[in-house]
Amino acid sequence: MGIKEKKALKKNLKKAASKLSGSINKAEGADFLPLEGGPGLKLPVEKPLQNTATVCYVGRIPHGFYEKEMEEFFKQFGTIKRLRIARNKKTGKSKHFGFIQFESPEVAQVVADFMHNYLVLEHVLQVHLIPPEDVHPKLWRGFNYRRKQVDWVQIERKRLNKERTLEEQQKLVEKIKKRDQSRRKKLAAAGIDYEYPEIVGISQPTPKKIKFED
């Protein structure tokens, strides 16, 4: 082997060594090596999911802890956009659960973490974040807790006390008598001996005499 051939062989060995060291360095920084060969590859960096939920569910709300009280209490955490307590449509009474929407997702997360299992008026609150995709689109539609509740008691009182014709009054008495008979049968079947006062309907009113002046 001549001098030129020896020099060419040394150059080839150096090139092969440099390639091998480079591939080793790349493999050390890679997450995995392809089976078909080639340079090592790294897995894409997964960014942590950002919390975008701003609505909190609040359960086990006690009596007396209504919209105004809740707004005064929860606004210490941050700005409240909307607040709603589920109420009975007829009576207006609280159903003991509601929803609060904050402007900031960070505030909503703090409220869910801090207020869950918090004792308020002998009730342990249940507070959870609601993901945006689970918020019903009609949750806040047409709701304003500052509006005056319908006085169903007064409406029902007027309905019962309204003036009725003789036929309407007789129908009402017949319904009452039918309900009374069903109660009597149930008590008799249960072996209870009880004397009821008789239900007397309204008799036909006597027409008033009209006097005509000369």
Contact 140, 100 (CB under 8 A): no
Is 118:128 a contact under the CB 8 Å cutoff?
no
For the chain, give the number of residues.
214
Q: Which residue has the higher pLDDT, 42 or 152?
A: 152
Domain ranges of the chain: 55-134, 163-189
pLDDT attached to residue 9: 67
pLDDT, tens digit, for every residue of 97-117? 999 999 999 999 999 999 999
Q: Is the pLDDT of residue 48 over 80?
A: no
The token duo for 71 is 């707004």
CATH architecture, domain 55-134: 2-Layer Sandwich (3.30)
Which pTM was predicted? 0.50
